[in-house]
Amino acid sequence: MSNPTTTTTTSWINSANGHPDFPLQNLPLGIFSLNGDTARGGVAIGDQVLDIKAAVELGLFEGEAATAAKAASEASLNHFFSLSAATRKAFRAALTHLLQDGSTDKTRIEQSQASLLHPQDRCTMHLPASIGDYTDFYVGIHHANNVGKLFRPDNPLLPNYKHVPIGYHGRASSIVNTGTDITRPKGQTCPPGADAPQFGPSKRLDFELELGIWIGTGNEMGQPIPISDAPEHFAGLCLLNDWSARDIQAWEYQPLGPFLAKNFASTVSPWVITAEALEPFRTAQPARPEGDPQPLPYLLDQKDQQLGACDIQLEVLLCTEKMRNEGMAPVSISVSNSLNMYWSVAQMIAHHTVGGCNLRPGDLLGSGTISGPEPSQLGSMLELTEGGKSSIELPSGETRTFLEDGDEVILTGRCCKDGYPSIGFGECRGIIKPTV
């Protein structure tokens, strides 16, 4: 079955038509439960969640689509991610056919609507997959340059940055779903001018505006993924907030890089925006500045140069405890775009595996903080306040240099294109709680 979706195709689920995040053209996948029952796969459509397991039991899928639907109905999406891109596409085409206006299955679905469709606000969302490994990259060049200036004003970008996608291996066990409270971490810090470190709660707690990249089909150890094949191993995207304790980080990161400053928590949004849903928003990689080196051959592919980037609008909102108590809405403190990534998803995957590392379905890659070139486009408090030298003024009369207890950070993402319905990522949110 070919994918029948067009820019004007609508759904018989009315809330999907004109929905800013979840129209028929999106169909993101996630794991949900109702009233504490068994978690299983679902599809966001408008303000509803389609229960994939119930749809499978009704026999609404056939052939390759049925194989994929059964995998997607499980308590995690790892099995679904392991399937070939062709099988995943067959499932998406069947879903679209099922949910679009004029569907021949509409009557069967309506007769079983109580078991098939559930309001999103009644669903509890879970992590989309069991994450075996997590690698955080550093592909936001404006962030890398801004942070570099704070520590090395005369040499902000080290020579390797424009030759190799920089990354480090993070902690998968502390990745949590949106809405999970974040406990302020403790650790060693060494304030400027101090002779010895001190121990206590982080005083410079920060967020990082990132994208999460879900790995689909894996590779065998010792078998690199060529960059031309990398899209076949990419399942989809989510939002990622890689919380950071900047004062702990400053003391511990040399010579081996991030450790406790990063491993206490990272938050992801619950919906996987599939590679197929992102296709209409694919675009050429931004031109490298004149004089920048061309990537080495294993990182260079003509199709990736032409369509390896994706146009995603990103936003950070902040809501303090005082603002919530006074009924004030969250305030936008930054707006950026994924086009500020210096390296593409395919380049990250190709580089990650070039030495023989095996990626597995459900592994997660972080993009690194995606800041833009303007002051309004900075993706961390570290940049927004110049390392704490200035402060953010909030409509409640409060100010912030770094995050305080009770602060809630909300990340959003949306793809927009003239003549095409917008597709969104939902929200990635978390509230800072005091140190235990």
The answer to whether 92 is a known ligand-binding residue is no
Cis peptide before 4 (omega within 30 of 0): no
Known binder of ligand: residue 138?
A: yes
Residue 208 annotated as part of some ligand binding site: yes
The annotation status of 290 as a binding-site residue, yes or no, is no
The strand pair at 234-241 and 205-206 is best described as unpaired
Return d(Cα 346, Cα 142) in angstroms, integer: 20
Judge whether 249 is annotated as a binding position.
yes
Print burial letters for 207-233: b (CB count within 10 Å at least 16), e (below 16).
bbbbbbbbbbbbbeeeebbebeebbeb
Contact 408, 431 (CB under 8 A): yes
Contact yes or no for 301/343 (Cβ under 8 A): no
- How far is 85 from 91, CA to CA, in rounded Å? 10
Check: CB of residue 52 under 8 Å from CB of residue 61.
Answer: no
383 known ligand binder = no
Residue 384 backbone phi and psi in degrees, to 5: -60, -30
408 is in an annotated binding site: no
| Residue 302 assigned to a binding site | no
Residue 90 CA: distances (Å) to CA of 68, 69, 253, 276, 398 = 8, 10, 45, 11, 51
Neighbour tally for 412: CB within 10 Å: 22
Cα-trace Rg, the chain: 22
Structure tokens at 329: 């809405």
Is residue 133 marked as binding?
no
Of 390, 428, 373, the closest CA to residue 144 belongs to 373
Specify the 3-state DSSP secondary structure of 339. Answer: helix
152 labeled part of a ligand binding site: yes
Establish whether 143 is a catalytic residue. yes
User: Among residues 340, 317, 330, which one has the least CA distance to residue 396?
Assistant: 330
Give the type of residue at 295.
Answer: P
Annotated catalytic residue, options 19, 97, 118, 143: 143
Residues 267/243, Cβ–Cβ less than 8 Å: yes
Encoded amino acid at 28, one letter: P
CA–CA separation, 370 and 343 (whole Å) = 11
- Known binding residue 253? Answer is yes
Please state the residue numbers annotated as binding site for Mg(2+): 242, 262, 266
Please state the residue numbers annotated as binding site: 136, 138, 152, 208, 210, 242, 249, 253, 262, 266, 369
Please state the residue numbers annotated as binding site for substrate: 138, 152, 249, 253, 369
Please state the residue numbers annotated as binding site for Ca(2+): 136, 208, 210, 242
Q: Which residues are catalytic?
A: 143
